A = this chain, B = another copy of it.
Amino acid sequence: MTEKQEKILKAALELFADRGFASTSTSKVAQKAGVSEGLIFKHFTNKDGLLNAILQQGHEKIEGLFKELNSLDDPKDVIKRVIEIPFTISDEEMPFWRLLYSLKWQADVYDGTMSNPIKSVLIPAFGKLEYKNPEAEAQLIMVLIDGLAVEILLRKSGNAQSIKSSILSKYNF
């Protein structure tokens, strides 16, 4: 990975997250990265290739999250940790998540593979705690953290912490 390649990826991620993928031109990306436009196509083939490179880079960074979840033994810890995920997004990771969530609405680009591993760790956790419908409970948590992520990524409210304790109290944690 060249220095200029990294600059292209960083510039593209920020622009795609801020203004949207479709309304960001490759010339703007080149300009922000301080690079000739042709270089983008030399390295990433086309605009979709650039997007895929960003997505793959982000997935690699997030991979550790799933490994951490699988290492937890207590099912309560698993559920707690999953709920905490949206609250532990760092400023550095924000653009990637904002891009990912915005792409959900652009049809064909992103398929939602991201959330399946989390759900598959959540269902047995609720099973061990003898909930009546572990599948539905897992789905509810997924919906909840998606809603939380939207709230946090669009930073509409500052008091996210009080929401967190409201949730945890409903699970008697």
User: When A98-B105, A105-B20, A105-B101 are in contact, do A163 and B146 touch as well, CB less than 8 Å?
Assistant: no
Interface string of A6-33 (1 = CB under 8 A from B): 0000000000001110110000000000
Q: Chain B contacts of A154 at CB under 8 A?
A: 104-105, 112
With an 8 Å Cβ cutoff, the count of chain A residues facing the other chain is 37
User: What is the oligomeric copy number?
Assistant: 2
Q: Chain B contacts of A139 at CB under 8 A?
A: 157, 159, 162-163, 166
Chain A at the B interface: SS class:
helix
Given contacts A19-B107, A135-B162, 19 further A-B contacts (CB under 8 A): A20-B20, A20-B22, A20-B106, A22-B23, A102-B106, A112-B156, A133-B162, A133-B166, A136-B162, A136-B165, A139-B163, A139-B166, A140-B163, A140-B166, A143-B144, A146-B147, A146-B151, A147-B148, A147-B150
